[in-house]
Amino acid sequence: MEQNIIDLITKRVREELVREFLIPVEVSARHVHLSKEHICELFGYEYELAKKKDLSQPGQFQYNERIMLIGPKGVLGGVAVLGPPRYKTQVEITRTDAFALGIDPPVRDSGDLGKSGTLFIAYDKSIVKGEESVIIAKRHIHMTKKDSQRFNVHDKQVVSVKIYGQRPLIFEDVLVRVSDSYALRMHIDFDEANASGSTDGTVCTIYEASAED
């Protein structure tokens, strides 16, 4: 009887420890961060984009307006526009989207746009060229400095993560991004979500840190 009680307590302690280190997983749909210049060219110099909703990361939000992506082989419509405006336009798509558009963008961290993909962006009758603007976002985890201490990781560290989706798997090469302006979330795209069976409420844990760290 005593052993059964000990086993039960041990199980509950382990479950509590696991819960302490769970990270919410968010699936990021294809979207665009427009520069102020491109906003003016697409919508007009007097036009003000309408905010639809706040996103999980503080200060980030989605506009009501949707745009169209045009590549050499295909078109994707109804693409979300996120704010606030960026210094340079950035388009984030999946590998499946890239095949449909006929382009081959690199897997990159946000903001790393040198020699990235190029396509056209359209709204109504206006169109701009997104020169070196397209990436497949590298999977990553946002966390605060306090979170990083709890998980014993640091900014720009690369880790492996176990996703507890309907088809659990381990993702390698996951970038840790640390700032007190972030909220704790892991971001993956729809291709990765489909592979792991991730849906609303899916969580993950850091499985292993890279050897060089």
Residue 162 sits in a domain of what CATH number? 2.40.40.20
The reported pLDDT for the residue numbered 59 is: 96
Among 137, 165, 187, the domain-final residue is: 137
Lowest mean pLDDT among 8-12, 133-137, 152-156, 167-171: 8-12
82 pLDDT above the threshold of 60: yes
Between CA 4 and CA 154 the distance in angstroms is 40
Tell me the residue range of the domain where 157 lies: 139-209
Radius of gyration of the chain (CA): 20
User: Do 169 and 131 reside in the same domain of the chain?
Assistant: no
- Closest by CA to 57, choosing from 88, 31, 36, 83, is 83
Is 4 among the domain residues? no
User: Do 133 and 157 reside in the same domain of the chain?
Assistant: no
Between CA 13 and CA 19 the distance in angstroms is 10
Q: What is the mean pLDDT of the segment spanning 54-81?
A: 97
Q: Which pairs with CB-CB distance under 8 Å and at least 24 residues apart come from 48-55?
A: 49/81, 49/83, 51/83, 55/82
User: Do 122 and 188 reside in the same domain of the chain?
Assistant: no
Between CA 133 and CA 143 the distance in angstroms is 26
Q: What residues contact 177, with CB distance under 8 A and at least 6 apart?
A: 140, 141, 142, 143, 155, 156
Is 57 among the domain residues? yes
The reported pLDDT for the residue numbered 20 is: 66
User: Do 111 and 35 reside in the same domain of the chain?
Assistant: yes
Q: What is the mean pLDDT of the segment spanning 122-128?
A: 96
Q: What residues contact 86, with CB distance under 8 A and at least 6 apart?
A: 33, 34, 35
Question: Across the chain, what does the average pLDDT equal?
Answer: 91
144 pLDDT above the threshold of 70: yes
Number of domains in the chain: 2
Among 121, 137, 153, the domain-final residue is: 137
DSSP-derived secondary structure letter, 113: -
User: Do 143 and 71 reside in the same domain of the chain?
Assistant: no
The reported pLDDT for the residue numbered 10 is: 41
Instruction: Name the pLDDT band for 21 (thresholds 50, 70, 90).
Output: confident
Considering only residues 9 and 49, tell me which one the structure prediction assigns the higher pLDDT: 49
Is 67 among the domain residues? yes
- Distance between start and end Cα atoms, the chain: 45
User: Do 129 and 158 reside in the same domain of the chain?
Assistant: no
